[in-house]
A and B are shown apart, each in its own frame.
Chain A
Amino acid sequence: MTISRRHLGTLTAAAGLGLAAPALRAQTREVVFAMASPLSGPWARLGELSVLGARFAVDEINNTGGIRTLGGAQVRLATVDVGDSPEKAKTAAERLLSQEPQLVGGAGAYVSSFTLAVTEVTERARVPWLTLSYSDLITNRGFRYVYQTSPTADEQAAGALPTIIELARAATGRAPQTMGIVMDNTASPVSFTRGLRAGGAERLGIRIVVDETFTPPLSDAGPVMQRVRAARPDILLLLPTAIPDIKLTLEKINEIGLGRGRLPIINNGGPMGSPDLLRLLGPNLLEGAMFITATWGLKGQEELIARFREKTGEPWMTQDSISNYGHMMILREAVERAGTTDREKVNDTIRALDLTEGPAANAYPGRRVKFDERGRRVGAPLVIAQWQNGVPVTIFPTESAMAQPNWPRR
C-alpha cells in the first residue's frame, strides 16, 4: 500500500490532533468558579445560603455532563469568606486570586459595600464577576467585568413605592400619605433610600415623617422605634440588613403595639425572608411583613425549589440561593459558548449573552439574561414577597406571584 503525500499530511495532522487532544482535555479537566460571601460575622447565614445556591448549581452542572465544549470538564467551586467589613472583603478577594490562578469567573459578595471592595480587585485581574448586590455604585464605575443581575437600589426604589402605593390602594381604597424609614448605614439601604429622600417620595405624595439610620449591630431598638410610634407613619420602610437587627426591630414594633400587621412594614433585600427569622421570631411576629427583593420563589420554579429543598434541607429557596444558582449557570453558559476558560473571552461572551430559556434565564424574574453596557441585567423587575402563615411568598409581579397580597389593615 502506498501513501500519497496528501494522505500523509492528513494522517500526520490527525496523529498530531490525537496526541494533542488528551493534552487539551487535561488542561480543561477542571473549570474554577468562585463564590465570595460573608461566612463569618453578622451576615454569615446569608453568605451560607449564597454558597448553598452556588454549590447546588455546580453539582447540577457536573451531574449533567460538565462543560461539554471543554470535553465535559467538571466545575470546581472555590469559596472564600469575605468576613464582616469591606477591608476584609478586599483582602479575601486578593487571597482568592492568588490561590486560584485558574479562576474563570465568580460571584458575590452579598453586602453591597463588600461587593464594591471585592470588585475593585477582580476588575483589575479581569475576572468576570456577577453579583446580586443592589447598590448602583457597583455598575456606575465604568467597570467592564462586573455584572449585576438584580435591579439596582435606585431602580428598586423608583419602582417600589409606586407598586406599594398601588397594593395599598387596591386593599384599603386609599394611598398612604406618610412614610417612616428605619435603616442601617450599609450601602444597599443608603442607595435604596437616596432617591426617596431627594424628592422621590414627595413626588408620589408621600411625606417622610421619621427617618433614622443606625450603625449595625443595634444594642436596643427601643429609642428608634419609639420615634416610629410617635410619628405613626402609614407605612414603614424597615431596612436593616443583619438578621439580629431585624429581630430586634420587629420585636420592638410588636412591643409598642404596631406589630402583627397593624403597621405595614416593607423591607428591602433577602434577609427578611430568611428561614432563620422564622426560628428567631415565630410566624406571628412576621405575618404580613413584606420585602422587596431581586428574586424569590416564582411561578414556574416549583421543580427547581423542590430539588433544592431535597438536596439542602432548607425550607425554601431564598434570593441568595436562587441568584447565585443563576450566577453559576450564567458562568457555565458563557464558558460553554466561549469554548475556553480564557477570562477575556468568557467576559466577551457574557457581554453578548441574550438568554430567554434554560436554567440561567429561569432563575430570574423576567426570565431574560442580557446585560447592558454598564453590566446591568436588562429588564430586571423588582419582586415583592410577603410572610403569609409562616412562609414568605411572592406577591408581585402578578404574573409570577405564588399568592395574593394581603395588605395589613389597621
Chain B
Amino acid sequence: MNAAAFVEQAAQALTAGIMVGCVYGLLCVGLAFIFGIMRVINFAQGDFMMVGMYLAFYLATHVLGTTLLGDATPFVAAALTVPVLFIVGGGLHRLLIARTTGLRGVGLSAEGHQAQLILTLGIALVLQNGALILLGTSPHTVLTTLSSSAWELPLLYDDFSAVFINQARAIAAVLSVGVAFGLFLLVARTRLGKSLRAAADNPEAATYMGIDVDRAHRIAFAIGTAVAGLAGGIIVAYYPVQPFVGVDFIIIMYAGVVLGGMGSISGAFWGGMVIGLVQQLSTLVMPLQLQNAAIFAAFVLILLFRPQGLFGRNVERA
C-alpha cells in the first residue's frame, strides 16, 4: 500500500473511530449511572437500548412521519423516548431492582450482586423475547437519506483521495457528545449529582447525612435507562433494530465503563471513545476480523497499567 492510500485509510478509520466512539461513549455514560454509581451489574442495559430503538422507530414512522420534520425525524423521535424510558427505568427500580440494591442490598449475600445479576438477566430475557413475540424478527430502521449520504472532505495531496463523513453518524456523534456533557454537568455541578455521588461512594454514610439513597438510586437507574433509550433512538437512524440487537453492544458498554474508571461519568464517555477508536484504527495494522479482539487486547493492556481505569481513583475504604 502506498503512503497516500495509507493516509486516506488512516483518516477514514480515525473519522469512523471518533463517530462510533462518541455513540459508544453515550451508551457507556448510561451504563455508568447504573453500574458505576449503583454498582448494579445490569445485563438489560443493551435491551433498554433496543427498546429505545423500537420506540424511536415507531414514533418516527407512525406518529411523527417524515414529511413534516424531514431528516430530523429520527432524532426528534429519539428525544421523545427519553421521558418514556425514564419512567420505565424508575418503575423497574421501584418494583424490582430496589429489592436488591442500596441499603437492602447490604443485607444480602455478596451485597446483593448475585440477586442483581439474576434479576437483570431475567429482565433482559423478558425484553428480548417479548420483542420477538410482539414485534417479530424483521429488522427495522428509520429510512432517511442521511444514513446513505456523506460529506466528502477532499484530502489535499491529490484529486481522488477523500474522507467520507456519514451524515447520520456525524449527527449522532454530535448529539451524543452534547448529551454526555450535559449529564457530566448534572453529576458534577448540581445538588442531585452530589447526592448521586454520595449514594455511590458510601450508601450508609450518605443515609446518615440525610440523603435518601433509594431515591438517589432510583433516579440513577431511571437516567441510565433513559440514556440507553436515547442512544438507541439515535442509533436506529443508521443501524437496524431487531430484538437481539442489544447483545452486540452490551459487552462494549461494560468494557467502556471499566476502562474509563468505575463511578466516573466523563471516564465512561472516554472509555467508549477509546473502544471506538481502537476498533476502527486497529484495521490499519491488523486483519479486519480481529477488530473486536483488538478492543479487548487494548482493554487488558490499559488495565494492566491503570487497574482503576483511565479516569478512576484509587480509594481506600475504611
Cβ contact within 8 Å between B289 and A276: no
The residue in chain A whose Cβ has the minimal distance to the Cβ of B13 is A223
A254-B148, A280-B240 in contact; A215/B292 too (CB < 8 A)?
yes
Tell which of A40, A251, A256, A259 touches B147, judged by Cβ atoms closer than 8 Å. Answer: A251
Interface hit among B14-22, B186-194, B207-215 = B14-22
A40-B244, A224-B288, A255-B166 in contact; A243/B139 too (CB < 8 A)?
yes
Overall SS of chain A's interface: helix
A45-B137, A248-B239 in contact; A226/B164 too (CB < 8 A)?
yes
A44-B242, A44-B244, A244-B139 in contact; A256/B16 too (CB < 8 A)?
no
A220 CB within 8 Å of chain B:
yes
Cβ contact within 8 Å between A220 and B164: no
Cβ contact within 8 Å between A255 and B240: no
Q: Chain B contacts of A340 at CB under 8 A?
A: none
B contact residues, total (Cβ < 8 Å): 44
B243 CB within 8 Å of chain A:
yes
Could you show 30 A-B contacts with beta carbons less than 8 Å apart? Answer: A41-B244, A42-B244, A45-B139, A48-B136, A48-B138, A212-B288, A213-B287, A214-B289, A215-B289, A219-B276, A219-B291, A220-B19, A222-B166, A223-B9, A223-B288, A226-B8, A244-B240, A247-B139, A247-B141, A251-B238, A255-B164, A255-B166, A256-B164, A279-B138, A279-B140, A280-B140, A280-B141, A281-B148, A282-B143, A285-B148
Could you tell me the distance in whole angstroms from the C-beta of B149 to the nearest C-beta in chain A?
A: 6
Cβ contact within 8 Å between B12 and A223: yes
Number of cross-chain contacts by CB at 8 Å: 116
The residue in chain A whose Cβ has the minimal distance to the Cβ of B11 is A226
B108 CB within 8 Å of chain A:
no
Could you tell me the distance in whole angstroms from the C-beta of A404 to the nearest C-beta in chain B?
A: 27
Cβ contact within 8 Å between A220 and B9: no
Tell which of B128, B132, B247, B279 touches A219, judged by Cβ atoms closer than 8 Å. Answer: B279
7 nearest A-B pairs in the assembled complex, by CB-CB distance = A44-B137, A251-B148, A255-B150, A222-B16, A226-B12, A220-B16, A214-B288
Q: Which B277-315 residues sit within 8 Å CB-CB of chain A?
A: 279-280, 283-284, 287-292
How far, in whole Å, are A280 and B8 apart by their CA atoms in the complex? 29
B316 CB within 8 Å of chain A:
no
Q: Which A367-408 residues sit within 8 Å CB-CB of chain B?
A: none
Q: Chain B contacts of A285 at CB under 8 A?
A: 148
Size bracket, chain A contacts: 35 or more
Cβ contact within 8 Å between A223 and B143: no
Q: Which B16-31 residues sit within 8 Å CB-CB of chain A?
A: 16, 19-20
The residue in chain A whose Cβ has the minimal distance to the Cβ of B282 is A223
How far, in whole Å, are A251 and B148 apart by their CA atoms in the complex? 5
Per-residue contact bits, chain A 195-225, to B (CB 8 Å; 1 contact, 0 not)? 0000000000000000011110101101110
Q: Chain B contacts of A276 at CB under 8 A?
A: 138-139
Among A251, A254, A259, max chain B CB count under 10 A is at A251
Residues on B lying within 8 angstroms of A by beta carbon are: 5, 8-9, 12-13, 15-16, 19-20, 128, 132, 136-141, 143, 147-150, 164, 166, 169, 238-240, 242-244, 247-248, 276, 279-280, 283-284, 287-292
Q: Chain B contacts of A224 at CB under 8 A?
A: 283, 288
Could you tell me the distance in whole angstroms from the C-beta of B212 to the nearest C-beta in chain A?
A: 40
Q: Chain A contacts of B136 at CB under 8 A?
A: 48
How far, in whole Å, are A240 and B239 apart by their CA atoms in the complex? 15
A317 CB within 8 Å of chain B:
no
Could you tell me the distance in whole angstroms from the C-beta of A222 to the nearest C-beta in chain B?
A: 4
Tell which of A39, A219, A250, A259 touches B137, judged by Cβ atoms closer than 8 Å. Answer: A39
How far, in whole Å, are A236 and B99 apart by their CA atoms in the complex? 56
The residue in chain A whose Cβ has the minimal distance to the Cβ of B2 is A230
A262 CB within 8 Å of chain B:
no
Q: Chain B contacts of A217 at CB under 8 A?
A: 248
How far, in whole Å, are A230 and B13 apart by their CA atoms in the complex? 14
Cβ contact within 8 Å between A226 and B139: no
A126 CB within 8 Å of chain B:
no
Per-residue contact bits, chain A 235-268, to B (CB 8 Å; 1 contact, 0 not)? 0000000011001101110111001000000000
Could you tell me the distance in whole angstroms from the C-beta of B240 to the nearest C-beta in chain A?
A: 5
Cβ contact within 8 Å between B280 and A220: yes
